[in-house]
A and B are shown apart, each in its own frame.
Chain A
Amino acid sequence: MLNASLKELSTALTQKKISSAELTKLFLDRISKLNGAFNAFITVDAEKSLAQARVADERIAKGAALPLTGIPAAHKDIFATKGWLTTCGSKMLGNFVSPYDAHVIERFNAAGAVILGKTNMDEFAMGSSSETSFYGSVKNPWNPDFVPGGSSGGSAAAIAARMAPAATGTDTGGSIRQPAALSGLSGLKPTYGLVSRYGMVAFASSLDQGGPMAKSAEDLAMLLNVMAGFDARDSTSIEHPAENYARDLDKPLSGLRIGVPKEHFGEGLSADVGKSVETALKELERLGAKRVSISLPNSGLSVPAYYVIAPAEASSNLSRFDGVRYGHRAKEYRDLADMYRKTRAEGFGAEVRRRILIGTYVLSHGYYDAYYLKAQKIRRLIADDFVEAFKRCDVVIGPTSPTVAFKIGAKAADPVQMYLNDIYTIPANLAGLPGMSIPCGFGANSLPVGLHIVGEYFAEAKMLNVAHQYQLATDWHRREPAGI
């Protein structure tokens, strides 16, 4: 059961081979046993989860089950979850028991899924290693001395250690895809606007997008079917007709044109990752795809532009944390301004403070044109690169991350080195395009390598098709960390 696909779990539940309560208990026991070692969950509430599981069992007994009914899933602690502590990895929200549900949580609840717990993450999703959490670093189940990637590192570690069959994540610059790559999982960042941001703690609103993380592309399709959909409470939610994201999984790849961007195979890419990605591309060619060399000439500017746009939006979004309406408030203060200063100095960790300061500076009087406006123009150039590329190919494929997982602490003191982890994933966020990562081998220290697939707007079904066909022909996605 721990290694079963969501489809297999769904079948086992509807055929009454296992009840949702039993299945939920199985994963809760697994969490009790392993969470101490990996720190993947911030909050677990067995009673709440089992109560939901019993309701799911009644629904299954009545024959009213949907595909995810009774299946437990973990949620990144960025999603407001009614009655659950929702910390976003921060001391600032250390006492925040959410009075409402995010749209994504409503969707999972309506589907009859069981909330297995809230997963650890970089504070306010700012990080690529899950080390900036106020609740401690997450450890990579493939080797606990290494990071699982971030910011959705708790969700990644939970699935990799088989503490959860599926999880949600969010991706502003790579926070679903990079931890999926570093933890040997499949993860999908949908087209911007496909999954509602309502109740998802805001980091950089023009980039933030929620999405699923799981063991396979087939599982991702089932999860996306539940998560995607219009929501009037998110002003940038797209009114896009409902799709079955699993509809094209079985299509052959013959004739598929794969664009391989030369800029993603140059300086900075480590040899082990390059080799696995090259082997994966050959496998896709063997499956009938055709390789096309493409260029994304401005992608090297994506990190600099991102580190203007994301902190600018963050400095605005995080101004709401002032100790007045919710969250942490400093104990002693002289006056209102002093309360703000102390509350925010105490409540935010070092990386969050740093990004707020960058954002405040680039938006401050006299600097707007040189930084924010300039970054938005470069954002256009990066998006235009993809428009050109997609004239010649159907999907763009390359490495998800320049290296496999690095040691905990290795980059913590050097923000710029940390930021460069997301060099291949950020362009899709800036353009608003869907992107995903699937496992494609192992590199240094026997750690997983991720293959990055970017599609055109709303091409999720096609990307999942490519990933599923690859996963039918390979078994990287079936590998699991030894000895746990």
Chain B
Amino acid sequence: MPLTLEEVRRIAELARIGVSDAEARAVQAQLNNIFELIGQMQKVDTDGIEPMTHAQGSALRLREDKATEENQREQLQSVAPQVEAGLYLVPRVIE
């Protein structure tokens, strides 16, 4: 079932990527080709197959709940677009 232009706009909004109408139309055709390729999966019966989430079956490692990282705030914030008093600045969210 091909994606409609409306669906392309909805996905772009979910992904927080701005698209113009022209871009949405161009991307629509490409995505539909890709979904045709992906659709080959549906030919195979996978009833009762256990999904493989990961190359290793084992559970994730746990560690003791204690701080291991030293504070590197200044260094890590040195690459931020906008910081003030150790805080990241973004446009006002609540008026």
Task: Report A's interface with B, CB cutoff 8 A.
Answer: 95-100, 192-193, 206-207, 232, 235-236, 238, 298, 300-301, 303-305, 307-308, 315, 319, 322-327, 329, 333-342, 344-345, 348, 353-354, 356-358, 360-362, 364, 370-371, 373-381, 383, 414-416, 419, 430-432
Contact with A along B22-61 (1 / 0, CB 8 A): 0000010011011111111110101001111111100011
Cβ–Cβ < 8 Å partners of B85 in chain A: none
Q: Residues of A contacting B56 with CB < 8 Å? A: 192-193, 236, 238, 432
On whether the beta carbons of A375 and B34 are closer than 8 Å, the reply is no
In whole Å, how far is B38's beta carbon from the nearest beta carbon of chain A? 5
A305-B41, A324-B88, A381-B46 known; A415 vs B30 contact (CB < 8 Å): yes
Q: Which of A340, A364, A373 makes the CB contact (< 8 A) with B16?
A: A340
The answer to whether A377 and B17 touch across the interface, beta carbons within 8 angstroms, is no
B67 at the interface (CB under 8 A from A): no
Q: How far is the CB of B79 from chain A (nearest CB, A)?
A: 4
Given A374-B41, A415-B30: A357 in contact with B54 (beta carbons within 8 A): no
Check B34 against A416 for contact (C-beta < 8 Å): yes
Residues of B contacting A98 in the complex (Cβ-Cβ under 8 angstroms)? 79
Listed from nearest, the 6 A-B pairs whose CB atoms lie closest are: A432-B55, A376-B51, A341-B18, A377-B46, A345-B18, A192-B55
Q: Who on chain B is nearest to A379 by CB?
A: B52
- Cβ of A356: which chain B residues have Cβ within 8 Å of it? 15, 17
- Are A378 and B30 in contact, CB atoms less than 8 angstroms apart? no
CB contacts (< 8 Å) of A383 on chain B: these are 52, 55
Contacting pair A301 B44 (CB below 8 A):
yes
A418 to chain B, nearest CB (A): 10
A-B interface contact total, Cβ < 8 Å? 162
**Contact indicator B17/A345 (Cβ below 8 Å):** yes
Closest residue of B by beta carbon distance from A373: B51
Q: Report whether B30 and A206 are in contact in the complex, using a CB–CB cutoff of 8 Å.
A: no
Chain A residues within 8 Å of B53, by CB: 206, 376
Residues of B62-85 contacting chain A, CB below 8 A: 63, 72, 75-82
Which of B31, B78, B91 is A99 in contact with, Cβ under 8 Å? B78
CA distance A207 to B91 in the complex (A): 36
With a CB–CB cut-off of 8 A, which chain A residues contact B5? none
Q: Contact between B79 and A419 (Cβ–Cβ < 8 Å)?
A: no
Residues of A within 8 A of B81 (CB): 323-324, 326-327, 329
Residue in contact with B38 in the complex, picked from A300, A307, A337, A357, CB distance below 8 Å: A307
Contacts of A432 in B (CB 8 A): 54-56
Given contacts A357-B12, A370-B42, 14 further A-B contacts (CB under 8 A): A192-B55, A193-B56, A238-B56, A301-B40, A301-B44, A304-B37, A304-B41, A336-B90, A344-B15, A357-B15, A357-B27, A377-B52, A380-B51, A416-B34
The answer to whether B60 and A235 touch across the interface, beta carbons within 8 angstroms, is yes
A206 to B40, CA, bound (A): 22
A360 and B11 contacting across the interface, CB-CB below 8 Å: yes
Of the residues B7, B37, B79, B91, contact of A339 by C-beta under 8 Å:
B91
29 contacts between A and B (CB under 8 A): A192-B56, A232-B63, A324-B90, A325-B76, A325-B79, A325-B80, A333-B91, A335-B91, A336-B90, A336-B93, A337-B16, A338-B91, A340-B16, A345-B19, A357-B11, A360-B14, A361-B11, A374-B42, A376-B51, A376-B52, A377-B46, A377-B51, A380-B52, A381-B44, A414-B33, A416-B34, A416-B36, A419-B37, A431-B55
Chain A residue with Cβ nearest B46: A377
Evaluate whether A415 and B33 lie within 8 angstroms (CB atoms) in the complex, with A345-B18, A432-B56 already known. Answer: yes
For the complex, what is the distance from the CA of A356 to the CA of B80, rounded to whole Å? 23
Determine how close the nearest CB of chain B comes to the CB of A83; give it in whole angstroms. Answer: 11
- Using CB atoms, name the residue of chain B closest to A382: B52
